[in-house]
Amino acid sequence: MKTPKSTIQRIAKNALLSLFIYALPVILMFITFSIKGERPWLKKDNKVNTVSGKNNSLKEEDND
Amino acid sequence: MIKFIEEMFRNLNTWGLTALTFILGFAEFSLGLYGKKWNKNEKFLDIASYTAPKLIVGPAVAYFGLKFLPAAFPALKGTLTWIPFTFGALIIAIADDLTQYWYHRLHHEIPWLWRFHRTHHSAPYMGMAMASRQNIWYTFFFSQTYVTTILVYLGLGYPALFVKALKSLITKLAHSSIKWDKPFYEIKWLHPIAWVLERTISTPATHHAHHADVTDDGVGYYKGNFGNMFFFWDIIFGTAHISRQYPKTYGISHYEGDQWYAQLFWPVFKSKVEGSELAADGPVVREDIVKQPVVEEEEESYSPEEDLDLQPSLVAASVTSVSVNNS
């Protein structure tokens, strides 16, 4: 059973838009830094923004 | 105060959400919301689906985050810790939930992927019992889990703690057979909140529509409403259907109770139900059995146009998306 061509076209179109949405928070963040004149990535004493090791393996319970 | 909130989310991620699942599940069961549909086969499948990922997928993801990433990319650990909390949370929320939207949508729109997701839809009821019900491979390849694990490894673990708890809470409540969103549609002064809510996050009304055994009857819409935490992905991509009503029947119209192990492990085990999509010689996608649409009688039909006085541009966008998809 093949995927209809119209579905593939819609998926491709929406996927392109998704790439922009993925990038949006990063773009917004750098615009904010630019306005405020901040460059936090240059700071050497970056506070480690991680929680305990167990959160590295965040469990996935959420389903569709 | 921040410490308290942090502790609350930390507890949610460890034992809180599990406790909530059991409390809600007990309430649903006590209220008879599963009817007589929760038979032995369904019980086995639901319980195995809830347990198996914890035993199999959990360790796999832990290995990926704690062993594979540090070994493969040791220099990248914690490189994004400089990202402020708000932006970190935004990045995680979008990366995780949009990825899951796509993972979910593709399993509905690409025929050969459907059978890996079918198990989640075969439940003829909604509730905590079926919220985790999935084919094991679908859970194993949950793409957003790995995306988020990578972001945590890069240093966004702290915002992830909050986003993941919030997401789990929203998705659990959207699957619940307790229709917590109903008052928002029934009480007039709550309508503006309902309008925003149903377009922002998954609610029982929109997510139940996705689990209906019929589509395009004005209520059920399994061809869309793919959003997990956020519903606005469906609005943006034109896969949304908002009716403020709940389907009368759920599941798959041609479901005949495939064996729990076949649903959990397909294609390793096949269904013995003749003609089933999970049977050895079954079709990739079986046609729906057409029946008369059933809608809860007391419900009034809802049209997004009714709220046009609220935010015309946004309503217009969602109306367009709905009509496009119903065509």
The two tokens of residue B84 are: 């402020």
Give the list of residues 6+ apart from residue A26 with CB closer than 8 angstroms, or none: B87, B91
pLDDT more than 70, % of chain B: 89
**What is the average pLDDT across A35-43?**
92
3-class SS of residue B115: helix
- Distance between CA atoms of residues B1 and A49, nearest Å: 19
Mean pLDDT of B12-25: 87
Residues of chain A found within 8 Å of residue B143, distances taken between Cβ atoms: none
**Domain map (residue ranges) of chain B:** 2-326
- ipTM score assigned to the predicted complex: 0.84
* Contact criterion met (CB below 8 Å) for B184 and B192: no
Angle in degrees, 0-180, between the axes of helices B157-175 and B2-11, rounded to the nearest 10: 60
Q: What is the dihedral of CA B138, B144, B146, B150, to 10 degrees?
A: 180
Q: pLDDT category, B324, cuts 50, 70, 90?
A: very low
Which chain B residues have a beta carbon less than 8 Å from that of A9? Answer: none
Shortest Cα distance, chain A CAs vs residue B193, angstroms: 24
The CB density around residue A7, as the number of other CB atoms within 10 Å, is 13
Cα(A40)–Cα(A32) distance, rounded to whole angstroms?
12
Residue B103 has pLDDT above 90, yes or no: yes
Residue B323 has pLDDT above 50, yes or no: no
Whether the predicted pLDDT of B305 surpasses 80: no
Question: Residues B244-257: what's their mean pLDDT?
Answer: 95
The C-alpha atoms of residue B182 and residue B180 are separated, in whole angstroms, by 6
Asked if pLDDT for residue B55 goes beyond 60, the answer is yes
Residues in chain B closer than 8 A to A61 (CB atoms): 17, 21, 53, 131-132, 168, 172
**Chain A residues inside the 8 Å CB shell of B53:** 59-61
- For residue B172 the two structure tokens come to 């659990």
Burial label, B218 (beta-carbon count in 10 A; 0-12, 13-18, 19+): middle
Confidence of residue B34 (pLDDT cuts 50, 70, 90): confident
B313 pLDDT tier (thresholds 50, 70, 90): very low
Query: Domain residue spans in chain A?
Result: 1-39
Q: Does residue B34 or residue B262 have the better pLDDT?
A: B262
Kindly state the average pLDDT of the residues B147-159. Answer: 95
Q: What is the pLDDT of residues B264-304, one digit of tens each?
A: 999 999 999 999 999 999 999 999 988 765 555 555 556 65
H-helix or E-strand spanning residue B210: helix B204-210
Task: State the nearest Cα–Cα gap between A35 and chain B, in angstroms.
Answer: 15
Of B110-114, B300-304, B307-311, the range with the lowest mean pLDDT is: B307-311
Q: What confidence score (pLDDT) does residue B290 get?
A: 80
Contact B237 A26 (CB under 8 A): no
8 Å CB contact of A14 and B237: yes
- Residue in B88, B120, B164 nearest the CB of A49: B88
Average pLDDT over residues B154-169: 95
pLDDT value at B307 more than 90:
no
What would the DSSP string read from start to end of B224-280?
A: S---SSBSHHHHHHT-----S--BS-BS-TT-----HHHHHHTTSS-B-STT-TTBT
pLDDT score of B318? 38
SS3 content of chain A, % helix, strand, coil (to 5): 60, 0, 40
Cβ separation of A61 and B168 shorter than 8 Å? Answer: yes
Q: Identify the residue among B109, B141, B201, B210 best suited for mutation to test binding to A, counting A beta carbons within 10 A and taking the highest.
A: B109
pLDDT tops 70 at residue B46: yes
Residue B203's region, left for phi above 0, alpha for psi from -120 to 50, else beta, is beta
- For range B85-93, the mean pLDDT: 97
Residue among A29, A50, A59 whose CB faces B58 most closely = A59
CB atoms B157 and A50 under 8 Å = yes
Distance from CA of A4 to the nearest CA of B (A): 9
> pLDDT averaged over chain A?
81
Cβ(B82)–Cβ(B154) below 8 Å: no
Task: Give the pLDDT confidence score for residue B57 in this predicted structure.
Answer: 83
- pLDDT tens-place string over residues B72-87: 999 999 999 999 999 9
Average pLDDT over residues B48-66: 89
- Average pLDDT of the residues in B43-71: 91
Q: Which two tokens stand for residue B39?
A: 């038979």
Residue A25 confidence (pLDDT): 97
With contacts defined as CB-CB under 8 Å, which chain A residues touch B285?
1
Q: Do A51 and B158 touch (CB under 8 A)?
A: yes
Model pTM score: 0.86
For B208, which residue in chain A has the nearest alpha carbon?
Answer: A64
The predicted model gives B138-147 an average pLDDT of 92
**CB < 8 Å to B172, chain A:** 61-62
- Coil vs helix vs strand at B302: coil
User: Region B181-204: what's the mean pLDDT?
Assistant: 97
